[in-house]
């Protein structure tokens, strides 16, 4: 998607200028993985015009393999994002109906070719929410990934403006069978998988870790095997936010990288949380950090001295 944001902490159209970058769940994960040094391939559909070309240039520049991107359709989805400050929340206005990807036929991509040799496939719950075509494509992609021996992760990311809970559950529950790792917050679990999280009071700011764990045990094999308790005991960072958007995607990318690197779940979690914290100090959707930078934070260097 094309992301349009006013400068700094301004509200939309306070000045006649927008920062124009590209982003979106799976793209953010792909780019983060490329920055971590992995071969990362992103599949989507983009129009042949200058806006689609701009998205291609960004993906390629950040090191992502774009050879399976399908060219076609009329528009790139857009979202207008205001960066909040302090008590003022960040806000997003979506304008993504009729985007090229939402209208892509499920068989427009040769999924078995894409997945051949892949170690991991990641998708978010936003993609199947875009429409029947996109849901069918998601389904085909997961199946092909599984067949190719790749591990599969899904970030549930429930978006109530895109679909209802019942439609989400009807679509997503059957997919879970082939999914190895589920990333979710307490709202996602409830809305997309129908799993209640005891003690969740989101607007209050405090989450009851125990309730979360109970829910987590039911859906994430990986985390359970590694003792889900580590989820809630991972390090915590008080981040002075520069840009909140993409924090979840950075977590996913961190977790995928560390898992592929053979680290145990608690170490993967620590890496993922540090990656996510760093992302939130960087403007834009992308987590422009190296493995070394994430490691430094995960291992506790908080002196803040200038790195010369």
Q: What is the dihedral of CA 274, 275, 280, 285, to 10 degrees?
A: -170
Span 152-181, contacts to its own copies by CB under 8 A: 159, 161
Tell me if 84 contacts its own copies by CB under 8 A: yes
Least CB distance to its own copies at residue 1 (A): 13
Near its own copies by CB under 8 A, which window of 49-57, 128-136, 142-150, 191-199?
49-57
Least CB distance to its own copies at residue 58 (A): 7
- The residue (of 233 and 290) whose beta carbon lies closer to its own copies is 290
The count of residues interacting with its own copies (CB under 8 A) is: 80
Handedness of CA 93, 97, 99, 101 (dihedral sign): positive
- The residue (of 32 and 280) whose beta carbon lies closer to its own copies is 280
Span 232-251, contacts to its own copies by CB under 8 A: 237-242, 244-245
Tell me if 288 contacts its own copies by CB under 8 A: yes
- Binding test (CB under 8 A) with its own copies, winner from 119, 226, 282, 291: 282
Least CB distance to its own copies at residue 20 (A): 4
Write the DSSP assignment of 210-277 as a string of letters: HHHHHHHHHH-HHHHHT-THHHHHS-------S--TTHHHHHHHHHHHHHHTT--HHHHHHHHHHHHH
The separation between CA 238 and the C-alpha centre of its own chain, rounded to angstroms, equals: 21
Span 193-212, contacts to its own copies by CB under 8 A: 202-205
For residue 57, count other CB atoms closer than 10 A to its CB: 12
Least CB distance to its own copies at residue 26 (A): 17
Round to whole Å and give the CA distance between 12 and 81. 8
Task: Report the SS3 class of residue 166.
Answer: helix
Handedness of CA 200, 203, 204, 206 (dihedral sign): positive
- Binding test (CB under 8 A) with its own copies, winner from 78, 209, 222, 226: 78
Handedness of CA 200, 206, 208, 209 (dihedral sign): positive
Span 103-122, contacts to its own copies by CB under 8 A: none
């Amino acid at each position: 998607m094309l992301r349009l944001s006013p400068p700094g902490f301004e509200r939309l159209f306070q000045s006649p200028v927008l920062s124009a970058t590209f982003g979106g769940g799976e793209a953010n994960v792909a780019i983060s993985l490329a920055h971590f040094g992995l071969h990362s391939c992103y599949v989507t559909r983009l129009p042949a015009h200058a806006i689609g070309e701009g998205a291609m240039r960004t993906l390629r520049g950040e090191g992502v393999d774009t050879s399976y991107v399908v060219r076609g359709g009329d528009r790139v989805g857009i979202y207008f994002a205001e960066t909040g400050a302090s008590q003022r929340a960040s806000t997003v206005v979506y304008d993504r109906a009729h985007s090229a990807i939402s209208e892509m036929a499920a068989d427009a991509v040769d999924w078995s070719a894409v997945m051949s040799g892949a170690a991991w496939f990641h998708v978010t719950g936003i993609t199947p929410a875009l429409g029947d075509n996109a849901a069918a494509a998601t389904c085909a992609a997961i199946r092909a990934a599984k067949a190719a021996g790749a591990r599969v992760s899904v970030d549930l990311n429930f978006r109530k403006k895109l679909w209802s809970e019942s439609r989400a559950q009807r679509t997503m529950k059957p997919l879970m069978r082939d999914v190895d790792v589920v990333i979710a917050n307490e709202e996602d679990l409830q809305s997309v998988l129908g799993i209640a999280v005891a003690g969740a009071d989101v607007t209050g700011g405090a989450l009851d870790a125990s309730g979360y764990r109970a829910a987590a045990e039911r859906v994430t094999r990986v985390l359970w095997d590694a003792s889900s308790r580590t989820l809630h005991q991972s390090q915590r960072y008080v981040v002075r936010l520069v840009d909140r958007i993409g924090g979840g995607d950075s977590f996913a990318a961190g977790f995928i990288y560390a898992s592929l690197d053979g680290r145990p779940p608690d170490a993967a979690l620590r890496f993922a949380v540090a990656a996510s914290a760093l992302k939130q100090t960087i403007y834009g959707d992308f987590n422009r950090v190296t493995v070394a930078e994430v490691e430094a934070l995960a291992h506790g260097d908080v002196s803040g001295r200038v790195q010369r």
